[in-house]
Structure 1
Amino acid sequence: MPDQEFETFHIDDAELRIPAASLNDRLRGRLRDGGYEHYECDHIRAYLRPGDRVLDLGSGAGLVAIVAARIVGPENVTTVEPNPEMHQALRRNLRQNAGTELRLIKGAVVGDGYAEKTVTLNLRSAFWSASVGGPPGKNPRLVEVPAKKLSRLIAARDATVLSMDIEGTEADLLAKPLPSQIRLVLIEMHPGLYGEPVRDALIANLEGQGFRNLGARRTEEVYAFGRGA
């Protein structure tokens, strides 16, 4: 694609190059003022530690994965992104800012009960709103993307940390216990999509598995949960 079809932003010493067609005014403003994934990156810096292996679900432009790679090394970070319109820019952002060892998996994460090989992704006006399920809205753009089961991703990458910004799919994934090897979960909840009672039930479920609420930004619905020493 020609350069004029991309816009470049600088956050946390990272250079993010993003397709102009995948931006709207609100997202563009958050990228310009440094507010994009600000709390998620704060949690990464506060709670990630050397030796962790990170599985970043819903990478978007790649900022969380890049910040994580600086702490644990790019070889210990795997990012999963469903939006095919972001893959070229995301791969470039990861390589430019974190090196070639950071792995990108193309597809949408699903629960173990999902039986199909693909899942329908709803592409919206800005890349941070692409979602599996939910109302299609006006002029929907629906694409089929590979379905990636969470348990297989965790096992294949031997993950100890989950970072999740998956636009509501967490309501399904977090309803079931996570493997004991997961010690840290960093997540943006989306109660606007499934309601506050569901969000509260997800939090209670994590706490029932021994996770402790390490920090929450309720205005942004960004949480960190940790368990073990």
Structure 2
Amino acid sequence: MDPAAPRSPFLRSRGLLIPKHPQITTGRLRAALRSDSYERKECDAVARVVQEGDVVLELGGGIGYMSTLLSVTRRVARVTSYEANPALIPYIRSVHAANGVTNVDLHNALLSPEPGPPVAFHVRRNLLASSMDRDSDPDSITRTVQVPRQPLAEALAQVCPTVLVCDIEGAEADLLPAGDWSGLRVAVIELHPQWIGQAGVQAVFDAMHRAGLSYYPKASEAKVVTFRKGW
């Protein structure tokens, strides 16, 4: 490489352009992006089961990687993405813009089983460590904001998803059993048994089975579990 050549403002990962960011694309995350190992299990799962034209509900938008991948490589009709961390919203939009993605409806909100008041969310110097838990490293908090809640039933009625992609750090055990998922064709869920325990894992499986979806081992690996209708 010519040392005089300007450095690219992007990382490349699975054919996507990921904007460099001094507080986000660092350390292990940068290495995982460059090696195409970032969210590998989820990426492998959606590659197996998501089809062109699907309508996706994404719970946990993260850095915008999955919604971009779904739009660019799976050519889904639409993604509606919910991300609680307000500090990530501008970055997610920059990832979408870098890849020409225009079919993602992004919400800075929490889905909840019932209506309720906004929830305090604590933004930290390490943006990826921000959370609703104030007590974990309170000295690193730079600001606290109120994140609105939206009832799950309302979101499902508006989106009418055929695919669910869910990574919400343990909230799956309470949220997913509260929804009517019978309209889904596929669900890809990252479980967090270290927080939700066996009862929480069982609650997620039961919720999917009530919706008429069966566990699909060919697109499941470790904590990433896939459910599919009619296979």
Q: TM-score, normalised by structure 1?
A: 0.82
Aligned residue pairs: how many?
218
- Deviations 1:19-73 (Å, cap 9, x if unpaired)? 3224563433322322211111111111011331011121112121112113564
2:201 is matched with which residue? 199
For residues 122 and 226 of structure 2, the distance between their equivalents in structure 1, rounded to whole angstroms, comes to 27
The 3-state SS of whatever aligns with 1:100 is coil
For residues 18 and 145 of structure 1, the distance between their equivalents in structure 2, rounded to whole angstroms, comes to 26
For residues 74 and 210 of structure 1, the distance between their equivalents in structure 2, rounded to whole angstroms, comes to 22
The 3-state SS of whatever aligns with 2:145 is strand
Contact 2:181 2:208 in 1 (8 A): no
1:10 aligns with 2:12: yes
Contact 1:174 1:202 in 2 (8 A): yes
1:115 aligns with 2:119: no
Contact 2:182 2:212 in 1 (8 A): no
Contact 2:51 2:76 in 1 (8 A): no
AA matched with 2:116: A
* Residues 227 and 11 of structure 1: CA distance in aligned 2, closer, same or farther (over 3 Å): same
* Aligned pairs (5 A) from 1:1-229: 8-22=10-24, 25-70=27-72, 73=75, 75-111=77-113, 113-116=114-117, 118-123=118-123, 127=127, 130-132=130-132, 136-139=135-138, 141=141, 142-215=144-217, 216-218=220-222, 221-228=223-230
AA matched with 1:97: N
AA matched with 1:136: D
How far residue 194 of structure 1 moved from its aligned partner, in angstroms, is 2.1
Rg bigger for which structure? 2
AA matched with 1:213: Y
The 3-state SS of whatever aligns with 2:216 is strand
**Sequence identity, in percent?**
27
For residues 18 and 120 of structure 1, the distance between their equivalents in structure 2, rounded to whole angstroms, comes to 28
- Structure 1, gaps ≥5 residues long: 1-6
Task: Please identify, of 55-64 and 149-158, the stretch whose mean Cα deviation from structure 2 is larger.
Answer: 149-158
* Residues 193 and 185 of structure 1: CA distance in aligned 2, closer, same or farther (over 3 Å): same
AA matched with 2:69: V
The 3-state SS of whatever aligns with 1:19 is coil
The 3-state SS of whatever aligns with 1:87 is helix
- Structure 2, gaps ≥5 residues long: 1-8
In angstroms, what is the RMSD of aligned CA positions?
Answer: 2.5
AA matched with 2:137: K
The 3-state SS of whatever aligns with 1:21 is coil
* Residues 35 and 160 of structure 1: CA distance in aligned 2, closer, same or farther (over 3 Å): same
For residues 102 and 27 of structure 2, the distance between their equivalents in structure 1, rounded to whole angstroms, comes to 31
For residues 192 and 124 of structure 1, the distance between their equivalents in structure 2, rounded to whole angstroms, comes to 23
AA matched with 1:205: A
Q: TM-score, normalised by structure 2?
A: 0.81
* Residues 169 and 66 of structure 1: CA distance in aligned 2, closer, same or farther (over 3 Å): same
- Deviations 1:118-139 (Å, cap 9, x if unpaired)? 122344565555444x573122
Task: Please identify, of 74-83 and 32-41, the stretch whose mean Cα deviation from structure 2 is larger.
Answer: 74-83
Contact 1:43 1:224 in 2 (8 A): yes
